[in-house]
Structure 1
Amino acid sequence: MREMPWRGAGVAIPMFSVRSEEDLGVGEFLDLKLLVDWAVESGFHLVQLLPINDTSVHGMWWDSYPYSSLSVFALHPLYLRVQALSDKIPEEIKQEIEKARSQLDLKDVDYEATMAAKLSIAKKVFALEKDMILNSSSFQNFFAENKDWIKPYAAFCFLRDFFETSERSQWGCYAQFSEAKLEKLVSKDSLHYEIICFHYYIQFHLHIQLSEAAEYARTKGVILKGDLPIGVDRNSVDTWVYPNLFRMNTSTGAPPDYFDKNGQNWGFPTYNWEEMSKDNYAWWRARLLQMAKYFTAYRIDHILGFFRIWELPDHAMTGLCGKFRPSIPLSQEELEKEGIWDFDRLTRPCIRRELLENKFGASWAFVASIFMKESQKDVYEFKEDCNTEKKIASKLKSCLEKSMMLESEEKLRLQLFDLLRDIVLIRDPEDPRKFYPRFSMEDTSNFRELDEHSKNTLRRLYNDYYFHRQESLWRQNAMKTLPVLLNSSDMLACGEDLGLIPSCVHPVMQELGLIGLRIQRMPSEPGLEFGIPSQYPYMTVCAPSCHDCSTLRAWWEEDEGRRLRFFQTFLGSNNSPPDQCIPEIAYFIIQQHVEAPSMWSIFPVQDLLALKEEYTTRLAVEETINDPTNPKHYWRYRVHVTLESLLKDKDLITVIKDLVRGSGRSYPLQEPEVSEGKGTVPEKQQAANGLEKVPQITQTNGISKKETVAVL
């Protein structure tokens, strides 16, 4: 019987999406113990979460975005279990907790109401026991170990609430951070010391609760997998304390891809890698050490950012007109040698009257009079107060408030943005003799009006910039930064490597023993519409969907033609597939993934619930966690069934467990497989050598392809 390397399976769910009988409107760290129990029962070795850091920048539902960290060290108060703050909670506070639980037991997370209720209750418990807790040895030890980040974090939270904004420019003398100002603010003699201590208190209890859940997972042989966001919020503790580590006049995003043809603008400042290297990336190393207190594995969000980042000017709103940093630009000398010389023409939109007429119809002259000026006969350019995306949005909002515009704001904004971005080259703001080809430049009217020589030359330079000349530079960049991350902790590292993948990425990941990601609907192999799980490399995590795309059910319903092609490709059937992702379809796709050679198969909980018709009554589109095309998406999805109910559903547990066992993947024993250390994960990144060996099971208990077709 042929043996194969160790393989495991897991479940992915955002912390906020968990539902239990004890929670107050949102999943809580202590709920992880129930989730671990369900994982063990179902045959899973791993539970994967989204980021759990504090994101309380705006004081409203915008803070539901888990990748926009207020602090890369502080945990989110949202996940606090207030009834576990003390074993001596007075009856009136217990009644308040029960009332809040009833009011917040909603279909989706009410972020603002949940935060308000938890902080209100926590303040009342803090008032009763603050002296006892703050003087305890356990708190003193916690504070001593974390003082380097928790003092500036507490001070930031106080200043944010005092000035009612996280915009540091509004903080007077505190706009610029200094150790002296910090020590004065957090000293015991400060008038605000009790407020500062409240933030210490919350972080202390979050640490206790998450540590309890993490230790429980370890004793059960289950890995907790965290998420390392690529960015931090522009108005964060980290940019306040370490402004030299960030390029604050820029924004981070992603070029156009599967998710959005206009690219993505995440709003985070890009990193000053040169400055970070001076202390051997101490800030990154501290982040990883902090994560390792709770997690045994982690996902590196947008690992491409450690090779190069898509950098946008801070006046951009979309992600289209960016450039890679670092990258080798096109020099003016290089372009002139190729016969390209009219740089003003290529770097500014050429807006002709007929273009305006086609885009705005009868109202073209009115739109032009507000946003543009005529530079020559029937040729227009944007006015000074409208020559960036943010300026256009501001002017448009002002016009709408004055009832000057009749069309919808969104439609007009997108039309004007299209005109503004109708350029071929982007001039470097720091060196006017350097240029970058605009992504998808051939789609612009500016490009289409060029002569054939210029078109062919620019096409060649475009392909060179995006696909060839940067490879060595990007490899060098990754080899400076990624090894520091990997050596900072004993956690198993997985890289999210979706999107426009440079050819240097996978060899570097292979060299460093980094595990990649494979999503079937976003194949990394050229020319394929769907990934083929049976052909995935071992050093991968495979999944049918992820938090950044629609669920398996929703994806199945979105596109009839694609559904038919998938059905024909993988089931070899010319029959019409069902309109909905019935349990038999979900079973077949999940079986494809558990049987893949990938080291890990990790399934969003929504895709697992699709195995049972009882759990598919909710509209599939309502199970989507994130819409990457919407920068102000409300992250609020909650599973519509409690963990307690799932633990009682032995039918679903049996189906999942049989899938895992039938695939030859390892599954947790009822007794923990490892009695000490960090669960079942091997020493860092050594999984490529093969963990424990398990026999390959060739005969599964699942439904075969032939049987699936017969059922359908």
Structure 2
Amino acid sequence: MKNNFVIQPYGKKPYHTGVAVPIFSLRTHQDFGVGQFSDLKLLAEFMKHSGMDIIQLLPINDTTIFMNWKDSSPYRAVSVFALHPIYLDLTPFLAEFTPADRQLYLQTQKELNALNQVDYEKTLTLKWKYAELLYQKIGIKTLANQDFITFHQEHSDWLDSYAAFCTLRDVFHSSDSSKWEKKYHSFSDSLFAELLSDSKLTQKINLYLFVQYLLHLQLKEAVEYCHELGIAVKGDISVGVDRKSADAWANPDLFNLDMQAGAPPDVFSKTGQNWEFPTYNWEQMANDDYAWWKLRMKNMAEYFDAYRLDHILGFFRIWEIPTDAVRGLLGHFAPALALPDWEIENYGIPFRSWGIERFIAPFIKDWVIDEIFGRDNRDEIIFHFLDYIGNGNYRLKEFVNTQHKVTELSDVPEWQIQGLFALHENVCFVRDHQNPNLYHPRIKMMETSSFREFGQEFKKSLERLYNDYFYGRNYAFWEEQVYKKLPAIKNATDMLACGEDLGMVPDNVPDVMWNLKILRLIIERMPATDYFISDLVYTPYLSVVTTSSHDTTPLRLWWEENRDFTQRYYNEIMHWSGVAPEQASPEIIQEIVGRHLNTEAMLAILPIQDWIDMTLDLRVENPEDERINNPAYTYHYWRYRLHLNLEDLRDNNDLTDFYKQFIEQTRRSLPGEE
């Protein structure tokens, strides 16, 4: 079914207002401990009454990798095409269950819905239990239906491999295909045919096909209802896929499975982020004109009018980390123009004459050990983990000579684990991952004790090299890379493209995004300049402005994080005098929200928590309970759920009238709106 709903820049309605909320966070009376695709209908009705017109979601793909609560992150997909079974609404099928099963379902539903947060494991387990019961009742009939046959034919490029992967994952109790029988290590049409020759495996495969079909129908129905109310729906395209995914299993040549993607140090993590995803093999993808990406975009366009391209900087370059590293500091940008030894020496650095190992191997002396572990612990650390190599220098013993090996230690306290990580990172350069004769300055090099050991002359030379490398050397090269791939991917659909361009952003990124008509992301507290906030006065039209994101603290919690920052913001930005209150009152939230809605940005999409916190009566007591994710932790439990039912929000006329009038007093209601 073609999506004819269009939201584009400079349209009949120039400015749009919306709500950002994960599906799993929605709450209605008919849910089953988690939000469901059908909840979008109630959310759309609430927004219609409130004068809003766009919903922004997090990724909605199946994430069943670990088969436990770690799968709660929507950014670690087992398939970037398959929808998550946890969002299936089984209520329309209750009549298909026996009275006993129906009664148990309703009782369990009541218990799960009473929880303040999502119980991911219990909810998903029970969803699958009832999905299997439903398949036993109507599965064969459904799969024989022509509508299903058409759905299967149109999605077979990914659907068959996904169903086969999930089946084998269940059989071997692992998502790591290298641990399966050898003949199952990679997908092929012949392998799929072999699986279908086994009646038991066929039943499992058909169950996965059946559930995907039901999810597809429910999401399509919900989105079409949103469109009837004039509400657009914006999806989210995660930056990567898990190495233990159906996508990597079926298309291993499209990924660098010996590398990991992440991010350099930023406001979220001082040691960088390691997402553990394989990086993309862009050269291989270019051979068929990015067919995999185009298929992914067309699949998204079946449901969404717009999308957020997570970490758009990854299309310029990605932060690539070796698989034996744990934290992000030992990574480097890829692709990037790495440095040969002679070019490093042109900066006056005796790279070869002093020995390359001095620059690329962990620099470990007594005073370094004391600094990291404490003087009283020096002898213990040396005895257990280090070998003396002369001239006051040490090296890590073989059993801890990678960060990954360090993680395998047992009965070692956390402070020693972190200290060993820091020793590994105490280098000035890292080798290029493709060419070992080329080098990259280690990110945050000047903060290492290895750097501090040098004299002032060499420090200045290293700092000059560092700044040349990170702030200019690669910019034109990265721009060339992005123009090779991103236009073809973006132009595969008519969806409105938005990019998440936060972090260590090259100067030319805004121009590239403007040329490609991709909306930028503006978060006031995360400035792209040296000023302490982003000046909303200069927000460009082709942008999305928001008060918070799923990775940041919501406004109320942010207000309490840094007292000095809040005070400055209160006086210089809000222009309110006196001492800033310790907590953000509804009036403070309203002031901040109002300034965002009055920007030139085409889209103003705010987290539902920040909308609700504009009121006093409806806000949750503890603002900490509103946080969705903490990026400082690789495995955060994503379980935030609204404390209010959408039915009650929709039917609260005082609330929806307040929102509507508030929005009408801002730029969001400029002439042109019907």
TM-score of Structure 1 vs Structure 2, range by shorter chain: over 0.9
1:530 and 2:533 matched: yes
1:422 and 2:430 matched: no
Secondary structure in 2 aligned to 1:374? Answer: strand
The 5 Å alignment of 1:1-16 reads 6-16=14-24
1:101 and 2:114 matched: no
Distance of aligned partners of 1:276 and 1:86 in 2 relative to their CA distance in 1, 3 Å threshold: farther
- The gaps in structure 1 that reach 5 residues or longer are 668-691, 696-712
Match of 2:360 in 1: 347
Q: Distance in 2 between matches of 1:568 and 1:441?
A: 36
Secondary structure in 2 aligned to 1:10? Answer: strand
Q: Distance in 2 between matches of 1:33 and 1:194?
A: 33
The 5 Å alignment of 1:98-497 reads 98-105=106-113, 106-187=115-196, 190-340=199-349, 341=351, 342-358=355-371, 359-376=373-390, 378-395=392-409, 398=410, 400=411, 405=412, 408-409=413-414, 411-497=415-501
Q: What amino acid is the match of 2:395?
A: E
The offset of 1:143, in angstroms, is 1.1
1:654 and 2:654 matched: no
Q: Answer whether contact 2:574 2:591 (CA < 8 A) is retained.
A: no
The offset of 1:581, in angstroms, is 1.0
Percent same amino acid among aligned pairs?
A: 39
The offset of 1:188, in angstroms, is 5.5
Between 1:49-58 and 1:573-582, the stretch displaced more is 573-582
Q: Answer whether contact 2:161 2:192 (CA < 8 A) is retained.
A: no
* Cα RMSD (Å): 1.7
Query: Any idea what the Cα deviations from partners look like across 1:450-487, whole Å, max 9, x if unmatched?
Result: 13332222111111111111111100111111111211
Q: Distance in 2 between matches of 1:282 and 1:87?
A: 42
Q: Distance in 2 between matches of 1:115 and 1:188?
A: 29
Q: What amino acid is the match of 1:124?
A: L
The 5 Å alignment of 1:604-643 reads 604-643=607-646
- The gaps in structure 2 that reach 5 residues or longer are 1-10
Q: Answer whether contact 2:18 2:54 (CA < 8 A) is retained.
A: yes
The offset of 1:140, in angstroms, is 1.3
Q: Distance in 1 between matches of 2:237 and 2:524?
A: 23
The offset of 1:86, in angstroms, is 6.4
Give the TM-score normalised by structure 2: 0.95
Q: Distance in 1 between matches of 2:338 and 2:209?
A: 47
The offset of 1:350, in angstroms, is 1.7
Distance of aligned partners of 1:431 and 1:206 in 2 relative to their CA distance in 1, 3 Å threshold: same
Q: Answer whether contact 1:26 1:109 (CA < 8 A) is retained.
A: yes
Between 1:216-225 and 1:530-539, the stretch displaced more is 530-539
Q: Distance in 2 between matches of 1:319 and 1:175?
A: 32
Q: Distance in 2 between matches of 1:109 and 1:5?
A: 37
Match of 1:509 in 2: 513
Q: What amino acid is the match of 1:373?
A: D
1:564 and 2:567 matched: yes
Query: Any idea what the Cα deviations from partners look like across 1:41-94, whole Å, max 9, x if unmatched?
Result: 111110000000000011100000111110011000010011224653332222
Match of 1:49 in 2: 57
Q: Distance in 1 between matches of 2:367 and 2:475?
A: 41
Q: Answer whether contact 1:611 1:652 (CA < 8 A) is retained.
A: no
Q: What amino acid is the match of 2:457?
A: H
Match of 2:592 in 1: 589
Query: Any idea what the Cα deviations from partners look like across 1:300-344, whole Å, max 9, x if unmatched?
Result: 000000000000001111111111111001111212333432311
Q: Answer whether contact 2:188 2:250 (CA < 8 A) is retained.
A: no
Q: What amino acid is the match of 1:356?
A: I
The offset of 1:186, in angstroms, is 4.2
Q: What amino acid is the match of 1:461?
A: L
Query: Any idea what the Cα deviations from partners look like across 1:106-125, whole Å, max 9, x if unmatched?
Result: 11101000000100011111
The offset of 1:604, in angstroms, is 0.1
Q: Answer whether contact 1:15 1:52 (CA < 8 A) is retained.
A: yes
Q: Distance in 1 between matches of 2:241 and 2:159?
A: 17
Secondary structure in 1 aligned to 2:531? Answer: coil
Distance of aligned partners of 1:24 and 1:86 in 2 relative to their CA distance in 1, 3 Å threshold: closer
The offset of 1:171, in angstroms, is 0.7
Match of 2:552 in 1: 549
Q: Answer whether contact 1:234 1:269 (CA < 8 A) is retained.
A: yes
Secondary structure in 1 aligned to 2:638? Answer: coil
Q: Distance in 2 between matches of 1:553 and 1:205?
A: 38
- Detail structure 1 runs of 4+ shifted over 6 Å in the superposition: none
Give the TM-score normalised by structure 1: 0.90
Query: Any idea what the Cα deviations from partners look like across 1:607-652, whole Å, max 9, x if unmatched?
Result: 0110111222331111111101000100000011110111122222
Q: What amino acid is the match of 1:515?
A: L
The offset of 1:694, in angstroms, is 5.7
Q: Distance in 2 between matches of 1:453 and 1:357?
A: 26
Q: Distance in 1 between matches of 2:397 and 2:437?
A: 24
The offset of 1:4, in angstroms, is 11
Match of 1:77 in 2: 85
Q: What amino acid is the match of 1:367?
A: I
The offset of 1:587, in angstroms, is 0.6
Distance of aligned partners of 1:174 and 1:214 in 2 relative to their CA distance in 1, 3 Å threshold: farther
Secondary structure in 2 aligned to 1:140? Answer: helix
1:23 and 2:31 matched: yes
Query: Any idea what the Cα deviations from partners look like across 1:649-677, whole Å, max 9, x if unmatched?
Result: 2222122111211113249xxxxxxxxxx
Distance of aligned partners of 1:594 and 1:330 in 2 relative to their CA distance in 1, 3 Å threshold: same
Q: Answer whether contact 2:30 2:91 (CA < 8 A) is retained.
A: no
